[in-house]
């Protein structure tokens, strides 16, 4: 067994890298649905069916715990997967909760009524599908009141990153930040609501300005996972991890090596 990390493509590598650094003794199985990426332009039903198929494949490969590192999958599929019932001993977690815990400075297990928090104006940068789902706003409302969230649908950034065109990706970041600032001139915090976006974190920070606190998911999810595994050691999993893709293993291996600046070898899922 191993802890599974799923993403529609390469963005989840930002979560994988942080998780491996935080939990060096844990085996991880990374699964990228690169053949069908990006998910951010698909409708909710399509995302659900693709995510369900990938998670079931990861279970068959020995994962008991799967992290949906893909924000679009977390937004469109996580709640439905959980509500439809998971096999005994299997768990699926998303990436919104650690972000909201950090933003509101309260633990998810704190079930007291929503209350005011320090941050009042939040910019959310996400894929079109995540923005359309309003999942982040819905989950945030369970914990906080009085927070104005302005969402910016960031079409094209994921495609540019997947193609390795970081010059184009940076130009798109500036364009999307400019569009957001026209709607919300003075955000106090910004959420990078796609696991691809931390690869462009410096570009987001530069375009937003140093006064805006940028929340990126990798380290937050890794710390939350460490806490979860400490409370649920039976989900830890031992044995073979690895890197799997529905796309071309050689091409994905080359891109992943470029992104993380360390050798990565993918095999066919």
- The dihedral built from the CA positions of residue 19, 235, 109 and 7, taken in this order, carries a sign that is positive
CA nearest to 243, candidates 265, 212, 213: 265
Q: Where are the beta strands (DSSP E) in the chain?
A: 3-7, 28-32, 65-68, 91-93, 115-116, 121-126, 144-145, 148-153, 189-193, 213-215, 242-245, 267-268
Q: How far apart are CA 163 and CA 153, in angstroms?
A: 20
Q: What are phi and psi of 115, to 5 degrees?
A: -140, 165
Q: Residue 143 half-sphere exposure, CB side, CA atoms within 13 Å?
A: 22
- Kindly name the residue from 47, 67, 194, 225 that is annotated as catalytic: 194
Instruction: Check if 70 is active-site.
Output: yes
10 and 245 Cβ atoms separated by less than 8 Å: no
Is residue 74 within 8 A of residue 13, CB to CB? The reply is no
The separation between CA 201 and the C-alpha centre of its own chain, rounded to angstroms, equals: 14
β-pairing, 242-245 with 267-268?
A: parallel
**Location of structure tokens 């999942």:** 135
247 near 35, Cβ under 8 Å? yes
| Marked catalytic residue, from 70, 93, 131, 256 | 70
63 assigned to active site:
no
- Ramachandran angles phi, psi of 202, nearest 5°: -65, -35
Which residues participate in catalysis according to the annotation?
70, 194
């Amino acid at each position: 067994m191993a802890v599974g990390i799923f993403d529609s493509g390469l963005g989840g590598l930002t979560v994988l890298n942080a998780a491996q650094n935080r939990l060096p003794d844990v085996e991880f199985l990374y699964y990228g649905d690169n053949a069908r990426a990006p998910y951010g332009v698909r409708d909710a039903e399509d995302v659900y069916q693709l995510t369900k198929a990938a998670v079931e494949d990861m279970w068959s490969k020995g994962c008991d715990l799967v992290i949906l590192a893909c924000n679009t999958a977390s937004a469109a599929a996580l709640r439905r997967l959980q509500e439809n019932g998971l096999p005994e001993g299997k768990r699926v977690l998303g990436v919104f909760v650690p972000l909201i815990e950090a933003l509101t400075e309260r633990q998810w297990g704190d079930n007291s009524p929503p209350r005011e928090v320090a941050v009042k104006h939040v910019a959310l940068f996400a894929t079109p599908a995540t923005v359309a789902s309003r999942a982040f706003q819905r989950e945030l409302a369970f914990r906080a009141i009085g927070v104005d969230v302005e969402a910016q649908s960031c079409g094209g950034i994921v495609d540019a990153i997947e193609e390795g065109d970081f010059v184009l990706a940076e130009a798109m970041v500036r364009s999307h930040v400019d569009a957001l600032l026209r709607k919300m001139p003075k955000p106090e915090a910004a959420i990078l609501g796609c696991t691809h976006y931390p690869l462009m974190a410096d570009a987001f920070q530069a375009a937003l300005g140093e006064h805006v606190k940028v929340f990126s998911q990798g380290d937050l999810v890794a710390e939350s996972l460490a806490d979860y595994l400490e409370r649920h050691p039976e989900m830890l999993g031992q044995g073979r991890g690895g890197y799997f893709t529905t796309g071309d293993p050689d091409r994905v291996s080359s891109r992943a090596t470029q992104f993380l600046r360390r050798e990565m070898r993918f095999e066919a899922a």
